[in-house]
Amino acid sequence: MKRSTFLLASAAAGVIVLAGGSWLLLSDRGSDAPVAPESDMPRYRAGGIDVGVTTVPATPRVGENRLIVELRKPDGEPVTGVSIDAYAEMSAMGAMPAMRAPAEMAEAAPGRYTGSVNLSMRGAWPLTLSFQSPDGQPVRMQFDLATDRKGLAIAAGASPVDGAAASADDANVITIDSRRRQMIGVETGKAEYRELIRPIRAVGQVTYDERLLSHITLKFDGYIGDLKADYVGTPVKAGQELFTVYSPELLATQQEYLETVQRRSGNGDGSLLRAARQRLRLWDLSDAEIEALERRGVPQAYVAIYAPRSGTLIERNIADGGAARMGQTLLTIADLSRVWIEAEVFEADLELVKPGMAAGVTLPYLPGRRIDATVEYVYPYLEGATRTGRVRLTLENPNGALKPDMYAEVSLQANLGERLSVPEEAVIIAGESRVVFVDLGEGRLKPARIRTGRRTQGFIEVLDGLSAGDTVVTSGNFLLAAETRLKTGIEQW
């Protein structure tokens, strides 16, 4: 009747709504629901097998997400019985420790493994898959997974199957596309053989060239008469009169000489005269003076002492009328047209320093001037107190700008020869390890452990771990290192 038809109709409608609703709800999130067709699944080649990975929903969300992994041999045969370890991990932030969301993967169909990950927060949850391929090769892959971002992107450990280079990269290789590289400012440099010049900085002091130094001493005791070079710093010329000296001894000798000369003019004995002349000579009277004495015929009370070399008076121990002892250094004259620089080189650098090496000298008091020089001599001993070795350079000093006792900074250029080297910025010092990122092309980067040798201007010698021609990353290293450590496991370095 009318009422029963109505009832039946409404009951049927109710059942349909209920059934439809439940199907909708269950199928949306059901575990056995059909997943994306195989062609939609991005595939990667790792460890000799094709790995297809996707999530349901395709845009991961906070909460439960299904993870589907398909393993197949390149010929399409499914790889079964593999135990896959999969987890997504949110890295630590500040005081907040890292969070890990593992997925228990079970084989749903041959070669098809499913599991679910529960993401408890919005954000990036890099996904790691690791398993052993049938031939026992460990495979570890890393994907960028983030809530509210569609799809998974390979980050490390594999390369897309359709990509040109399906090489067998190891798990440490990270892939970063060119836009992201640009964003973090990745720049590269080459590992190549370069002539490495190691500058050695040494502190030096300007000193007198010891070979151009003259002391004025008397071989007799005497009294100073007229001191011509009467202040330190007096410029003197060779042969210039420095001072006069009165010495009773000298006077007596002159007298003796004159007497000998007079005697000889009678019937003298030549040998006696020679001896007398020799005595005067040994007391530093020149032949000219002796001749003058002869001509004059009277001994001179005050004898002039002349400069043995041109230069500057740098020491004066006498004054007018003072007494001068025999053997005492009365004046010192230094020729400053050429000076020495003695520089202290640290023990560690000493082996690189050789005579004849080029060097540059700068003086703090003469800023902006750099004088080229060469290493003349390396002293064969160390200074005990400072553990430094001393090297000597000789500099021409025509205008006297270099003043003894000035401090000088000496930069020695030690040529190390052709060495395999990379730009300094490329090398990350991580504790004992030294790591560089090698650019493998197509956005793939691989951290490489190297051994380093000497460091020179902007370059570091590579002893091991790289070969010539490798491209290394010189800028943006920190983020790459972080990416690697985030994506390929904490234990790396």
Q: Is 481 among the residues that bind another protein (CB under 8 A)?
A: yes
Smallest gap, in angstroms, from Cβ of residue 63 to another protein?
A: 2
Maximum pairwise Cα distance, the chain: 185
CB 138, min distance to another protein, A: 16
Q: Which of residues 330-389 bind another protein (CB under 8 A)?
A: 346, 348, 364, 383, 385-387
Question: Which C-beta is closer to another protein: that of 203 or that of 448?
Answer: 203
Nearer residue to another protein within complex by CB, 122 or 296:
122
Tell the smallest beta-carbon distance from residue 288 to another protein (Å).
41
359 in Cβ contact with 365 (< 8 Å): no
Question: 428: closest CA among 437, 441, 439?
Answer: 437
Where does this chain touch another protein (CB under 8 A) — which range of 57-65, 67-75, 226-234, 277-285?
57-65
Residue 157 Cβ vs another protein, minimum distance, rounded to whole Å: 15
Residue ranges in 271-290 that form contacts with another protein under rule CB under 8 A: none
Examine residue 1 and tell whether it contacts another protein (CB under 8 A): no
Size of the site for another protein (CB under 8 A): 83
User: 167 in the Ramachandran plot: left (φ > 0), alpha (ψ -120 to 50) or beta?
Assistant: beta
Measured from the CB of residue 427, what is the shortest distance to another protein in angstroms? Answer: 11
Q: Is 486 in the site for another protein (CB under 8 A)?
A: yes
Q: Which residues inside 300-329 make contact with another protein, applying CB under 8 A? A: none
> 1 or 298, CB closer to another protein?
1
Contact mark string toward another protein, 62..101, x via CB under 8 A: xxxx-------------------x-x--xxxxxxxxxxxx
Q: Which is nearer to another protein, 21 or 469 (CB)?
A: 21
Q: Which stretch binds another protein (CB under 8 A): 32-40, 44-52, 58-66, 249-257?
A: 58-66
Q: Shortest gap between Cβ of 155 and another protein (angstroms)?
A: 8
| Nearest distance in Å: CB 463, another protein | 16
6 binds another protein (CB under 8 A): yes
Among 12, 17, 168, 183, binds another protein (CB under 8 A): 183
Nearer to another protein, 59 or 137 (CB): 59
How does strand 43-46 pair with strand 159-160?
Answer: antiparallel
Residues 99-138 that bind another protein (CB under 8 A): 99-102, 104, 118-124, 126
| Contact status: 161 vs another protein (CB under 8 A) | no
Which parts of 23-52 interact with another protein (CB under 8 A)? Answer: 25-26, 28-30
Q: Is 483 a binder of another protein (CB under 8 A)?
A: yes
Provide, rounded to whole angstroms, the least separation between the CB of residue 368 and another protein.
16
> Per-residue contact track with another protein, 204 to 243, x per CB under 8 A?
----------------------------------------
Choose one: 6-14, 248-256, 352-360, 465-473; the region binding another protein (CB under 8 A).
6-14
